[in-house]
Amino acid sequence: MSQIQTGLLVLLLTFLGVVGYNVYLSEVTPVERSYSEFIELVKENKIKAVHLKGGAVVATDLQEHSFSSYIPDLQTVLPLLKKQQITITAESDAESWGGFMKSMLPIMLILGGYLIFSRNQQGGKPDFGKGKGKSFHPKKKIDVSFDDVAGISEARLELVEVVDSLTNPEKFSTLGGYIPKGILLQGSPGTGKTLLAKAIAGEASVPFYSIGGSDFVEMFVGVGASRVRELFTEAKRNAPCIIFIDEIDAIGGKRSGGNASGSNDEREQTLNALLVEMDGFDSDETVIIIAATNRPDMLDPALLRPGRFDRQVTIALPDVKGRRKILEVHAKKIVMARGTDLSDIARSIPGFSGAEIANLVNEAALMAARKNKTAVDTLDFEEAKDKISLGLERKNVVINEKDRRVTAYHEAGHAITAKLLPDTDPVRKITIIPRGRALGLTQQVPLDDRYTYSREYLINRIKILLGGRVAEEIVFAHQTTGASNDIVSATDIASRLVCEFGMSDALGPVAYSQEQDGFLGGTTSSKPYSEKTAERIDHEISALIEQCYNETYELLTNNNKFLHKLAEALLVNETVDFEEFEIVHQCYINEIKIEENLRHKRREG
């Protein structure tokens, strides 16, 4: 019988016991009468005996019928009972409570039996402090190898010797060296930290314990520490093995000194237990602890010292070669059309993590299935990428013609500014079809991965962001709220350029903000400068944005015909891709040449 069936049976028996007890009480409990009726029957000499229980009384009449009542003042009634020669018996409140306990004994026995049964089912140990089931039942067979890990070759090479230490420990011990006890995998979400830990266990063919950091945290103080000790005891029995703790920052955060409230007692006790267990391995116990986090800045320094997490491996986002390899791994799981260029797809998704690439491949397969295709082609990947990066198309949104024209010129302003300025990312697609919360989008994709940014690139990026607002003012002589996000982004770049990157001509190479952040952000900044300097910073940021705005205005004014041509193309086609954008640009260049030739002929004639 399963535990669920046993629990339901116990609940049913308990319910029946309570019902039976209530029926029993209704049968044996005397009818209740008022105090005045009781006194009247006593005076008429119709009461044979009374039984007193505190202030309550059970009276028996001459016909042997019983009823109950309540006596507010027993001392005034006793003389009357003695005068009528009524038999009086009494019991204390404790005896009454004992009778109640006797009547509840069957129900208590049923519940007690269920608790004993549950205890035996758990091997004689109570449930409190016991880890989650998956934590203490290691996987003996992991169907993941290093062949399934792509795009992070440097991190993979760093961990190959861990596999060697598990399969061939004598290789290191003969030279007097020892393998790191703990390995911390740190990186952005979706970069493959968990997959890499599974690959190590799969390559070494050893038991693999996988548990989340939050699984140790409970509301009862001491439960997390108990789970840590039990996990490590179980792991030592199955050595060599691997313990993988995902999101270790849930229990490994920095301890706060002088915490009077005790609100973090449970987490800190769990961390202390983890620190002690990581120090307690014997030399013959090959237990490797691998932990993963995307917030290494939050971890307690005691965890990161040598002897605990000796090795810290940073897993960065894959470059273009890594993205290509990850695409190849996931493309094996779907039916690919011939001629699909994975290299081109890899170049078009800079900044994608391994998890996002896996999602891209799946979305492309779903796109092809919706169209009843027999294979996934490049167009499906393009649509899937646009859905993930730009949002779902909202083709059913009804937009009036005036707003469509404003959006078309706005996006044309972005695209033309990006096209005509040097050191910018090429425009890949322009659309006025609403996606997500935006009415239109201009997509730029870099030709290569960028790791540093020049001042010219950042300045031109501000101009591109302001290009939409400038185009609106040139054509319609008014402003709309459609440029709000662009202005926020432009201001952020200008602020970082002045305060963080030290690229201001007026203020020089000085950092005016001190920020600390992890992979997920969460920045904390200080202000190590005076109010006078703050005024200079504000003035410099405003002057930089104003200068970019004026130069963008001049650029689009000088190329007014190009702006109108592209906007009209967007109003007709709604979406303009890279090739179509180049055609519009070439037509504009040809018209300029024709006009120059005509002007030249007029001057000669």
DSSP string, 104-146: HHHHHHHHHHHHHHHHHHTTT--STTPPPGGGGS-BS-----G
Report pLDDT for 133.
38
- As beta bridge partners, residue 457 has none
Beta bridge partners, 238, equal none
pLDDT confidence of residue 218 = 62
Phi-psi region of 399 (alpha: psi -120 to 50; beta: other; left: phi over 0): beta
Which 3-state string (H, E, C) describes 16-85?
A: HHHHHHHHHHHHHCCEECCHHHHHHHHHCCCEEEEEEECCEEEEEECCCCEEEEECCCHHHHHHHHHHCC
Amino acid identity at 54: G
How many Å apart are CA 4 and CA 8, to the nearest integer? 6
Q: What is the 3-state secondary structure (H, E, C) of 349-393?
A: CCCCCHHHHHHHHHHHHHHHHHCCCCCECHHHHHHHHHHHHHCCE
pLDDT for residue 138: 65
- The encoded tokens of residue 295 equal 């917030």
**What does the pLDDT read at residue 502?**
87
Q: Measured in Å, how far apart are the chain's first and last C-alpha atoms?
A: 107
Cα–Cα distance, 309 to 259 (Å, whole number): 26
Catalytic residue among 266, 411, 472, 551: 411
What's the pTM value of the predicted model, to 2 decimals?
0.67
Question: Is 203 a residue of the active site?
Answer: no
Question: Cα angle vertex 199, ends 197, 202, to 5°?
Answer: 115
Residue 269: the pLDDT is 81
Question: Do you find a cis peptide bond into 240, omega within 30 degrees of 0?
Answer: yes
Burial of 463 (0-12, 13-18, 19+ CB in 10 A): buried
Predicted pLDDT at 126: 44
pLDDT attached to residue 85: 76
- How confident is the model at residue 462, as a pLDDT? 95
Whose tokens are 């990947």? That residue is 381
Of the candidates 128, 119, 126, the one whose C-alpha atom is nearest the C-alpha of residue 224 is: 128
Looking at residue 48, its pLDDT comes to 79
With 0-12 / 13-18 / 19 or more C-beta atoms within 10 angstroms meaning exposed / middle / buried, residue 536 is middle
Cα separation, 417 vs 424, in Å, equals 9
Q: Are 381 and 424 in contact (CB under 8 A)?
A: no
Give dist(CA 8, CA 307) in Å, integer.
50
> Greatest CA span in the chain, whole angstroms?
149
In the three-class reduction of DSSP (H, G, I as helix; E, B as strand; rest coil), residue 237 is classed as helix
Residues 6+ apart with CB under 8 A from 320: 346, 347, 350, 448, 449
pLDDT value, residue 583:
92
φ and ψ at residue 333, rounded to 5 degrees: -90, -10
Q: What's the pLDDT at 132?
A: 44
Residue-level pLDDT at 112 = 65
Q: Residue 346 has which token pair? A: 């890899």
- Cα 177 to chain centroid distance, Å, stands at 39
Q: What's the pLDDT at 263?
A: 45
Instruction: Name the nearest CA neighbour of 107 among 13, 228, 9.
Output: 13
Q: What is the pLDDT of residue 39?
A: 80
Calpha distance 66→49 (Å, rounded): 9
- DSSP letter assigned to residue 250: G
Angle between helices 560-573 and 401-420 (to 10 degrees): 130
| Domains (range + CATH), the chain | 3-121 (3.30.720.210), 134-255+265-315 (3.40.50.300), 320-390 (1.10.8.60), 401-517+526-591 (1.20.58.760)
Q: Across the 605 residues of the chain, what is the mean pLDDT of every consecutive 10-residue run? A: 59 69 64 78 80 76 76 74 77 56 60 57 45 52 77 77 75 73 86 84 82 70 76 83 86 67 65 81 71 86 84 86 90 88 87 89 92 90 85 74 91 94 91 83 83 91 95 92 91 91 86 56 57 88 94 94 93 90 90 84 73
